[in-house]
Amino acid sequence: MRRSSANLAVMLVCVGLPLALISGVARATSSEPGKDVQADAGPCIAAAAAADDDKTVDACGALIDNEKTAKPDRIKALLARASAYDRKQMIDRAIADYDTVLGLDPSLADAHNARGELWRRKGDRPKAIMDFGAAVKLNPDHAAAKANYKSLSLELERIGAMMAVAGKPSFDCRKARRPVEKAICANPALADLDREIGASTFRTVREAQDPRQARELQRAQDQFIARRNAEFGKPDYDLQKAMRERLQRINGVDGY
């Protein structure tokens, strides 16, 4: 037969246990066995609403670590803490929280997009584009994810195009005959400079205000090439310096 908490307390007094300990035992025995007390999400919610990042990390962290926390509250706490970590520039920890969130619920487009933005800031474009793509697939109307996916796709295309021509000059090295042309083809840094000079010359000629100005710009480039060909190999001629100066002259002090 089960004794009441009062009877149990009397027995504990008889064996000489302290009153404070007795009261604690009595309270414990008076609670309903098997009843789960849900964790209090209030402090986490309040800290997040107040935009107090340090309190959000602490309060939401306690909620996340509490085994009594319901799954929806744990997800909300993780999202709040991830945002706080993001604002505190603790990107790796923010990503870890988004990883946990998406492990609990992979259908959250916002979480995919937010994690993708963090991957992009870290310079991991492949992971970023995958997250943006997942967000758009889950929610085709997700404006931020669509914009992120489009801009990163264009960025990757530009990078691919640049890699395709990296170390290649503006002319065909298979047809190089002059010593200076062979030197440019043999040096990737000089080849990149030559390509930039060619592209910048084409741009400035195309954007000239009138045909006369365009002809003058092209004439200046032709004169540079002639001087480069004639002076290359002389002891006091620095090809790379001359090319850098020419590029700066075309683009201006600010580079454009």
Give the model confidence (pLDDT) of 55-74 as tens digits. Answer: 999 999 999 999 999 999 99
Count of structural domains, the chain = 2
Give the model confidence (pLDDT) of 104-144 as tens digits. Answer: 999 999 999 999 999 999 999 889 999 999 999 999 999 99
Instruction: Give the pLDDT mean for 155-181.
Output: 84
- 116 and 216 in one domain? no
Give the model confidence (pLDDT) of 169-216 as tens digits. Answer: 989 999 999 999 999 999 999 999 999 999 899 889 988 888 999 999
Domain end among 135, 163, 191 = 163
In a domain, 67, yes or no: yes
- 186 and 149 in one domain? no
Helix residue ranges, H only, 123-187: 125-138, 143-165, 179-186
- 202 and 95 in one domain? no
Alpha carbons 43 and 60: distance in angstroms, whole number? 8
- 105 and 186 in one domain? no
DSSP 9-70: HHHHHHTT--HHHHHHHHHHHHSPTT-------HHHHHHHHTT-HHHHHHHHHHHHH-TT--
The residue among 155 and 108 whose pLDDT is bigger is 108
The residue among 148 and 14 whose pLDDT is bigger is 148
Q: What is each CA distance from 53 to 44, 86, 132, 141, in whole angstroms?
A: 10, 10, 26, 30
Q: What is the pLDDT of residue 166?
A: 78
- 146 and 51 in one domain? yes
| Domain limits for position 140 | 42-163
Alpha carbons 46 and 80: distance in angstroms, whole number? 11
- 188 and 234 in one domain? yes
Alpha carbons 99 and 77: distance in angstroms, whole number? 13
- 180 and 157 in one domain? no
- 229 and 196 in one domain? yes
Check whether 224 has a pLDDT greater than 80.
yes
In this structure, what DSSP letter does residue 4 have? P
Report the 10 Å Cβ neighbour count for 36.
8
Query: Which positions ≥6 away from 173 have C-beta within 8 Å?
Result: 181, 185
Give the model confidence (pLDDT) of 1-60 as tens digits. Answer: 444 434 433 333 333 434 333 333 333 333 444 445 578 889 999 999 999 999 999 999
Q: What is the pLDDT of residue 252?
A: 79
Query: Which positions ≥6 away from 95 have C-beta within 8 Å?
Result: 115, 118, 119, 122
Closest CA to 85 of 60, 49, 116: 60
Domain end among 123, 142, 163 = 163
- 244 and 155 in one domain? no
Alpha carbons 130 and 111: distance in angstroms, whole number? 13
Q: What is the pLDDT of residue 163?
A: 72
- 211 and 112 in one domain? no
In this structure, what DSSP letter does residue 92 have? H
Residue 54 sits in a domain of what CATH number? Answer: 1.25.40.10
In a domain, 20, yes or no: no
In a domain, 37, yes or no: no
Domain end among 163, 188, 203 = 163
Radius of gyration of the chain measured on its C-alpha atoms: 34
